[in-house]
Copies of this chain bind each other. A is one copy, B any other.
Amino acid sequence: MILGFLKETHDRRVAIVPQMVPKFQSLKCDILLEFGAGESSGYPDASYGDAIKTASRNDVIAHSDLISCINKPDESLLNAIPSGKHMISSFESYMDDQIVGVLRQRGIHAFSMDMIPRTTLAQTMDVLSSMASIAGYKAVIKAADHLVKYFPMMITAAGSIKPARILIIGAGVAGLQAVATARRLGAIVEVFDTRSAVKQEVQSLGARFVEVEGAKEDAAAGGYAVQQSEEYLRRQRELIQEKARAAHVIITTAQVRGKKAPMIIPKETVEHMQPGSVIVDIASSTGGNCELTKDKQTIVHHGVTIIGDSDLADTMPQDASFLYCNNLLNFLKLVVKDGSISPDKENEIIKSAWITM
């Protein structure tokens, strides 16, 4: 069986890293890599050694049984893939209700990494977690880079610097990692989330949880947040408006699975923030938590820098690729048996991820 890895078009990551190649081979897979796929992650083709073959994009597509690409394939790629092939990617089918139909119609057997359940068992293949973790870390680093002041407190001969105040909205994986990183850098961290369950998690990282009472809970949602009431959102917005004036950095990670990201920071709030402040909006790809966010862009509004980037993992490609590659390998262990593709149709994880089943 041949496993093909495509080079990403707008992403520095690669789905396979050299040190993991032997593990893939022990699944009895041959590996075909598109020329230069790992280049931008710090893995030139040579670093993969002789064990794997490199080929042109078309050759990879033509000769592989299972094709892997990290990001949702665009139409042209889908069109290029012959019917009957298997494909692993993140198809974002929870956002795009067309895609499954398209794939089925084109006869592509698709496994979607972003549909793997968020259970304890599936953690080893949970790309959402591993990438969100990077995003949370990187969001803080980016904010520190753009902020016009220090994060930590400094009492120096040239004056005393107060520590930066950081507001983190949404304490999922990314949010928590942001909390940890900001606290490491010495900032004062406050966190908002609608799920009151995360309060303890936030405190377990030593940060303060700011509560807006009256959040709706839905344990059945499998850990994902549920859409909140209007009244709740209003009260939350008020409190945030207040806090935002005091914050030097806001990092927003609030997302609702399958829905547009909640708008939490309106334009007005931004305009009340101190010039030089920074907002990093990780939810930008689903619309952003800030009214002004422009996805994949960094804009300055009223002196406030607003970074809209949901693909921060891409800015740390080496570790991101390593983590993704691990996730992929662990998932493939469910899909590939003895060198051939034979996913266990009873397995919960396969059931969720095999979107064209």
Q: Which residues from chain A sit less than 8 Å from chain B, CB to CB?
A: 12, 41-44, 123-124, 126-127, 129-130, 133-134, 137-138, 141-142, 144-145, 147-150, 152, 154, 156-159, 161, 181, 184-186, 274-276, 303, 315-319, 322-324, 326-327
Contacts and interface: CB of A to CB of B under 8 A. Distances in A.
Nearest to A143: B141
Contacts of A41: 148, 276
B141 A157 contact: no
Contacts of A148: 12, 41-42, 316-319
Given A44-B275, A145-B145, 6 more contacts: A124-B157, A126-B158, A129-B156, A133-B154, A137-B150, A181-B185
B274 A42 contact: yes
A317 B275 CA distance: 11
A351 B324 CA distance: 62
A221 to B, nearest CB: 22
Number of identical monomers bound together in the oligomeric complex: 2
Contacts of A322: 159, 161
A123 B161 contact: no
A107 B213 CA distance: 68
B42 A318 contact: no
A150 B149 CA distance: 23
Nearest to A184: B184
B42 A303 contact: yes
Contact of A126 (B129, B157, B324): B157
A316 B152 contact: no
- What 4 pairs across the A-B complex have the smallest Cβ distances? A42-B276, A148-B318, A123-B157, A42-B275
B124 A316 contact: no
A150 B142 CA distance: 13
A318 B149 contact: yes
Contacts of A138: 145
A144 B326 CA distance: 23
A186 B177 CA distance: 14
Given A43-B275, A161-B319, A133 B156 contact: yes
Contacts of A144: 141
A326 B156 CA distance: 10
Most B CB within 10 A of own CB, among A42, A44, A134, A326? A42
A3 to B, nearest CB: 19
A158 B130 contact: yes
A28 to B, nearest CB: 22
